[in-house]
Amino acid sequence: MSENIKIYDAHVHYLWRDSVTENCAAFAALREKGLQGMGLIIMGHHLPDPQQCFEFIPHSYHDRIGQQLFAGSSGMAVPEPGLFAGIEMFPYLDSRYITATEADLSGFREAGFRGLKLLYVPDEDELYGMVGWKKLFGRSQKDYEAVTLRMIEQAVNYGWPVIFHVDLRLHEAFVRHILQNYPEHPFIFPHFGFSRKIMARLIEQFDTCYTDFSSLLPFMQQAPEAYKNFITEYQTRVLFGSDATTDWPELVSDYIDTVKNLFDDQGILENIMQHNYLEIHQNRDLKQKG
């Protein structure tokens, strides 16, 4: 029965090294495995210097990104509908390089973006190899918080879901403040917020707090029962997410196989692979239009 489940990957980065045509062809095989849609995270604005851009991207992704990605523009456009045949795209604005100068999101909305992706890393992250926002831009954490809050306010007004990359072990109070201010708006904290314990606490306290297991595949394979128990407990708040790039379809495939092997309960699989994604990305759209 699990072969018939429709799958939505909530966390895919629109990056590539090879031609778009080759990448799209590679994703066609995922359509055969059930992939129906992707939350596509796109750098709608980036810095002109590729080396500076790389300083705010985890080291593990550097060999998957060509410097030509940053050449000749200040940002990437939302791809045309139908680029990945048979796979729906929900375009998120990757806002990691946005400062107060670019923080008016109205132009991005007009350009077709429908969601906001925040990368909240104030200080150097040695594990992931990122310099941190303060060092990259030479501004204070107070400035960083102000820009983040300004973009969140706009996203809420636009009805945009928010993917919020943040280490809850370091910034739980900041996140809690935001969730308290916007209790009816969906926030997705990827990678289980770097703490299953804190993530569980927030899920239990806030009705529109979600998470995904992107980047956690090695840990899920090493400790399957621990992750299976967490996902089962919070199955209506966990989304399928891979953190793949659009030239890395084999990673999405590995996630699909691992999750299907981990669960034999059809209801759980449908929740994490389909229903939770649709609740955020389609049902809310219908409610907004209504």
3-state SS track over 9-22: EEEEECCCCCCHHH
Count of the separate structural domains present in the chain: 1
Report yes or no: 262 and 39 within 8 Å, Cβ to Cβ.
no
Place of tokens 């669960």: 263
Residue closest to 116 by CA, chosen among 175, 79, 162: 162
Per-residue pLDDT of the chain (290 residues; tens, 9 = 90+): 566 899 999 999 998 766 777 777 778 889 999 999 999 999 999 999 988 999 999 998 888 777 778 887 899 999 988 888 899 999 999 999 999 999 999 999 999 999 999 999 999 999 889 999 999 999 999 999 999 999 999 999 999 999 999 999 999 999 999 999 999 999 999 999 999 999 999 999 999 999 999 999 999 999 999 999 999 999 999 999 999 998 899 999 999 999 999 999 999 999 999 999 999 998 655 444 43
pTM of the model: 0.95
Gap between the Cα atoms of 34 and 2, Å rounded: 10
Place of tokens 């089962």: 232
Give me the sheet containing 115-120, strands edge to edge. Answer: 238-239, 209-212, 187-189, 162-166, 115-120, 88-94, 35-42, 7-13, 244-245
CATH number, domain containing residue 91: 3.20.20.140
Range of the domain at 135: 2-289
> How many other β-carbons are positioned within 10 Å of the β-carbon of residue 173?
8
Q: Is 134 exposed, middle or buried (0-12, 13-18, 19+ CB in 10 A)?
A: middle
